Each structure stands twice: as C-alpha cells, then as structure tokens.
Chain A
Amino acid sequence: MKLDNTLPMEYRSEENSNRILGFWLFLGAEIVLFSTLFAVYLTLWTRTGSGPDAKEIFEIGPVLIETFLLLTSSFTCGLAVHSMRLGLKKPSMVFFGITLLLGLGFLGVEIMEFVTYVNEGATLQTSAFLSSLFVLLGTHGLHVLMGLLWGGGLMLQIRREGYTLETSNKSFIFSLYWHFLDVVWIFIFSFVYLKGLM
C-alpha cells in the first residue's frame, strides 16, 4: 500500500482519501435532500388548515437549548479530531463521548418538543404545515440518531484498536457528518423557528 506520510493519518492511503471525497459527495446529495424538505416546508408553512400556525406552537426556549447543545457538540467534535491528529487517544475519545452525549441531549429535547406539540393537538395529520414541519425536523432528528449509533460503534472500535489508518479515517468522516448536521440545524433554527416567530 502506498502511503503519503506528509498527510494526516485519515488521508494517508489512497482508499482513505477516496472515502473522504466520497463522503463529501454524499454530503452534496444531503444538501439537496434537506433543500427539498425546506422547499416543501416553505411552500406549505402558511397552509395551516384548521390547525394551529407556527406562532401558536413554536416556543423559543427549548429551541435555544437544542441550538446550544448542537453547536457545542459540533465544537467538541472538532476538538476530538484535533486531538486525534495530535495522536492523543484518550482526550479524543473523551471529546467524542461528550459530542455523543450532547447529541443525545439534543434528541431528548426534540422528542419532548414533539410530545408537547402532539399534546396541543398538533400532529402529523393535522395540516400541511405540521406535516412538513414534522418531516423536516424528523429527518434531521433521524440523522442525529443515526449519528449516535454510528459514533457509538466507532468509539468501540477506537477503544479496541486505537487510531489506525481505518479508525482515524472513519472518525474524520464521522466528524464531517456531525458538523453537517449542525449546519442543517442552523438553517432549521433560522428559517423554521426564527422566521416562524418573526
């Protein structure tokens, strides 16, 4: 195997850098996926039928908590990759652990938020606005959930093997995914919640 030792470990073999490029391309597809969900939401968000509208159900409190949790998790995820590159296994794993816990917290708040909506009579079936809201938020939430499973499995592998060509590559790709979810959330925060409350 040809290795280029001037690069960080996650890029070093040809397969590794192919995987990173491949994942970036996949993120390009994800951008379009979320854009389409936004297109649907922005088309339907005033069409509330007989259900509640955005101003009636949105609460800024939990949303701010979610934003804070996710921004922080993105930060710790970046730190995890940074210490991985310094060759520090332990701190890196701690940072990854914190990232996943914050992600779990985010998911918890989001589920509570959904429960509140449903208790207020705002369900997927109520109106086009709510259908598009639930599906947009739900798709993002599902991505976070997949990220938690993925990150958890990854931490087991790192604990067992340390940072090898493979695990460092996977960790870096995971970090791309996690930062991407943060970006998507920023857009949800701005153009769903803040715009809805404006």
Chain B
Amino acid sequence: MKKLFPIQHVMGYLFSLILSVVALSVILWDMSVALGLTILLICAAVQMSVQLFMFMHIGENKSKTALYTNLGYALLVGLITIFGTLFTMIWGYQIK
C-alpha cells in the first residue's frame, strides 16, 4: 500500500491544498488590492511549479531544454498578451 502513495506526491498534494487555503485568505481578511494580488500571484506560481515538477515530471525528460524553452516562451507570450492587452485597451487611456 505504501508504495502506491509515494511521499513526494502526498506532500505535493497537501502543499497544493495549503496553498489554496492561503490564497483564500485574500477574501477572508481585509487587505490592500496590491497585497492581495501579490499573495494570489505567488500562490498560483508555486502551485504551478508543484504540478510541473512533482506530477508532470518535467525534469526527467531528455529534451529538457526544449521543454523549458517552450514553457518559457509560452508564458512570455501569454503574459505579453495579457498585460499588453490591458496596456493598450485600458491603462493606455489612463496615463496622461
């Protein structure tokens, strides 16, 4: 039975539950928007890493460089799309 539940997976799971609860704190307590967003961003980023490294085994692949480049590029384009769209469509009108 024990070998079916490797400690790494169990820890990863518990960790992801804890992170969700930490993220939940932003609506339980009053805090500034900036602080709240920071907490959310950090929690989400850590959660993503838990999935990537513990469950998706990204590090074990032989073409590691290709995978990390792919991921990095995708995240870069994704973030450019999100923040670039906010920049052009909303923030651009607000900056004088």
For residues 22 through 45 of chain A, which have their beta carbon under 8 Å from a beta carbon of chain B? 24-25, 27-29, 31-32, 34-36, 38-40, 42-43
Give the interface centre of B74, B84, B90 by most chain A CB atoms within 10 Å.
B74
A75 lies within 8 A of B9 (CB): yes
Closest to B36 in A: A198
Given contacts A35-B79, A74-B55, A78-B12, contact A194 B40 (CB under 8 A): yes
> How would residues 1 to 32 of chain B score, 1 for a CB under 8 Å from any chain A CB and 0 otherwise?
00111100100110011001001101100000
Assembled-state Cα–Cα distance A20/B36 (Å): 37
Classify the secondary structure of B's interface with A: helix
Separation in Å of the A97 CB from the closest CB of chain B?
A: 14
| Size class of the B contact interface (CB-based, 8 Å) | 35 or more
Question: Does A107 interact with chain B (Cβ within 8 Å)?
Answer: no
Contact with B along A178-190 (1 / 0, CB 8 A): 0110110011011
Q: Is B56 an interface residue (CB 8 A)?
A: yes
| Complex interface residues of chain B between 50 and 96 (CB less than 8 A to chain A) | 51-52, 54-56, 58, 61-63, 66-67, 70-71, 73-75, 77-79, 81-82, 84-86, 89-90
Q: How far is the CB of A101 from chain B (nearest CB, A)?
A: 17
* A86→B3 contact, CB < 8 A: yes
Q: Which residue of A lies closest to B89 (CB)?
A: A43
Q: Are A194 and B26 in contact (CB under 8 A)?
A: yes
Q: By the criterion CB–CB under 8 Å, are B86 and A78 in contact?
A: no
Q: Is the CB of A25 within 8 A of B27?
A: no
A–B complex contacts, Cβ < 8 Å, 8 sampled: A11-B61, A28-B70, A28-B73, A38-B78, A72-B13, A78-B12, A79-B5, A198-B36
Closest 5 CB pairs of A and B: A35-B78, A28-B74, A31-B74, A75-B13, A78-B55
**Which A residues lie at the B interface, using CB under 8 A?**
7, 11, 17, 20-21, 24-25, 27-29, 31-32, 34-36, 38-40, 42-43, 60, 64, 67-68, 71-72, 74-75, 77-79, 82-83, 86, 88, 91, 175-176, 179-180, 182-183, 186-187, 189-191, 194-195, 197-198
- In addition to A17-B63, A24-B70, 11 A-B residue pairs with Cβ atoms within 8 Å of each other are A24-B58, A32-B81, A38-B82, A43-B85, A74-B16, A175-B55, A179-B51, A183-B51, A190-B23, A190-B41, A194-B26
